[in-house]
Structures are given as structure tokens and as C-alpha cells.
Structure 1
């Protein structure tokens, strides 16, 4: 399984070009770069939809302030929501 954000957009594009050039099957390319086949499919889908910018997408965990978290708990406990 790959690590999140292990590859930058240029790396992803190079990997996709390698696959498109026929230098290996989808599973062979995925294994070579230690990614899931589904990840390779997702990169290709995003590249087809958004171009190179789609490959630069980074999944990030959102962080919320302590105040916002506390307000969410209070709202929940109030029974209004």
C-alpha cells in the first residue's frame, strides 16, 4: 500500500506515461512503484478530467481549532442538532 502524497504531480505523470507506453500492465506498474492498482486508476481518471493539475491534488487531513471542536460538542449536547 502506498503512503499518502509519496509522489508529486510530475512523478505521477511519469508513471502514467510509462503505463500508457505499454512498459507493463497496470498491475506490474503499480507493483513496481508500490501503489495500488486503484490508485493508478484514480490518477489516470484525474489526469483525463483535469490534466496535470489533477495530479497535483493532495489529500490532506483538516485540522480544526479547539474552539470549533468545543462548540460542536456543546451544540450536540444541547440537543438542538
Structure 2
């Protein structure tokens, strides 16, 4: 499976993130801008990127209630 380019989005609810390689993270409030990408190793999961080293994972069924795409492309 190939990697898709992350899409611009904003959060609709608070999300707890973690730093890659470290168990620590923080909470991001609704309205925060982010990038969203499907997890290539687990198609039923999406990865929300906050910068280059901070991520959160969300199940595909919960994606529409967690983020809203802002790049103008249709949401699938």
C-alpha cells in the first residue's frame, strides 16, 4: 500500500496526541489545524499529524465526528 499525501483539516473535538518515540503527549482543543492521513499498515485507522513528530490515531468510523477537511476536496 502506498502513502497518501496528508490532507489539511481542523479538529471538531479535543484529541489526545503523543510524540513519536515518546509516550508523552498533550491535548489539542477543537479548531486546531492539522493534517490527516490513512494509516498504511492499518486501513481502518487514520493518523492525525500535529507538526512532524506529534500524532494521534483515530478509527475510521469516528473520523467524521473528529475532524473536518479544509482543503476543498470532497470527503469520502
TM-score interval (norm. to shorter): under 0.3
Instruction: Report the TM-score, using the length of structure 2 for normalisation.
Output: 0.26
Instruction: Report the TM-score, using the length of structure 1 for normalisation.
Output: 0.25
Q: Answer with 1 or 2: which has the greater Rg.
A: 1
Instruction: Decide which structure has greater strand share.
Output: 2
